[in-house]
Amino acid sequence: MSNGVAQPSRRPTRARSIIRATLDSTDRFMSAQRLHEMITEQGEDVGLATVYRTLQLFADDGEVDCLRDSDGEMLYRKCVREAHHHHLICRRCGVTKELEDLTIEQWADAVAAKHGFSSVSHTFEVYGVCADCQAAG
Amino acid sequence: MSNGVAQPSRRPTRARSIIRATLDSTDRFMSAQRLHEMITEQGEDVGLATVYRTLQLFADDGEVDCLRDSDGEMLYRKCVREAHHHHLICRRCGVTKELEDLTIEQWADAVAAKHGFSSVSHTFEVYGVCADCQAAG
DNA sequence: ATCCCTGCAAAGTCTTTGCACTCCC
DNA sequence: GGGAGTGCAAAGACTTTGCAGGGAT
């Protein structure tokens, strides 16, 4: 089924370059709507549907990381690393740190296997208030 | 702000007892819509809005656990344990196992502290296909 | 009687989809 | 020119909200 090899053709277009540039302009996770808002504020014009579609493509290609916030809204951010990893996210300002730790992955797989589960995946995110936001009150 | 002491009055009503009974009839996480479906299948009649409202109340009271599935939909289940814990959830049938492991909690707190974050919380859920579902094809 | 609770339907969000047009190769 | 890409508006899914009637204390 999916061998992860073939990749559909991706044409370089105006919309994609704008979206990519906007993603690059910050290191925070943003919703599709917020990203679209930023693009509009820059005086550019890209359809909201295109933003959604493009973010999904980028996510499929591993070009952006995505996660859901506590409201269930999907958030996207340019991907910094290739490997699977998790995030430490500031609730206040949205700044994120990438966490690396194989223990979590291994533990998740192991505990799932122990219970006879297969096709295992997991979600793991850590939220808090970063040092800067604490200092800022 | 919130001292977790005062509790609004909760009247025992028909809808609430039906919802509670339906929650008790399974150990799986269910969406509000699925729960409403089950109630209807039982021949009972409770409005969908009431199911949503009641599940929120129950969640506030700590009577049910809730989490979001990978589609962002909220799932509820009667609360089994007091302590903070995580879940191993079958994507196919929704059956869940509760996971206990202090390592995750400690690691999350430690790594957050290392980055200067405070007021730390985290989300962690493991998804897979349970043995029964695999056997069932 | 009072105020909480419920049902129904309308409204709100976030997101996806259909379709015609446009642009890249 | 052909098919990927885009924009717009409509549609979908989940959830919340407004309001009037019904039930618990």
Beta strands B118-129; B86-90: pairing state: parallel
Interatomic distance B59 CA / C16 C1' (Å)? 30
Domains of chain A: 1-83 (1.10.10.10), 84-137 (3.30.1490.190)
| pLDDT for A110 beyond 60 | yes
CA–CA gap between residue A79 and residue A108 (Å, rounded): 23
Is A55 a residue whose pLDDT tops 70? Answer: yes
> Is B81 a residue whose pLDDT tops 50?
yes
pLDDT at B22 over 80: yes
Is A130 known to sit in a ligand binding site?
yes
CA distance A7 to A25: 27
CA B27 to chain centre: 10
pLDDT reading at B4 higher than 50: no
Q: Could you report the per-residue pLDDT of B27-58, keeping only the tens digit for each?
A: 889 999 999 999 999 999 999 999 999 999 99
Q: Residue A77 in contact with residue A29, Cβ under 8 Å?
A: yes
Bases on strand C under 7 Å from any protein CB: 4-10, 14-18, 23-25
Average pLDDT over residues A58-69: 91
Among all strands, which nt has the closest C1' to B33 (CA)? D14
CB-based burial label for B128 (10 Å; 0-12, 13-18, 19+): buried
Whether A13 CB is under 7 Å from strand D = yes
CB contact (8 A) between residue A121 and residue B123: no
Tell whether A90 is in a known binding site.
yes
Mean pLDDT for all residues in chain A: 86
What confidence tier does B8 reach under pLDDT thresholds 50, 70, 90? low
**Which amino acid belongs to residue A85?**
H
Instruction: Give the integer Cα–Cα distance in Å for A78 and A90.
Output: 17
Give per-residue pLDDT as tens, A114-123.
Answer: 999 988 888 8
Crossing angle (nearest 10°) for helices B48-60 and B14-24: 70
- CA-to-C1' span, A53 to C18 (A): 14
Q: Which strand ranges, in their side-by-side order, compose the sheet holding B64-68?
A: B30-31, B74-78, B64-68
| B91 interaction partners in chain A (CB closer than 8 Å) | 119
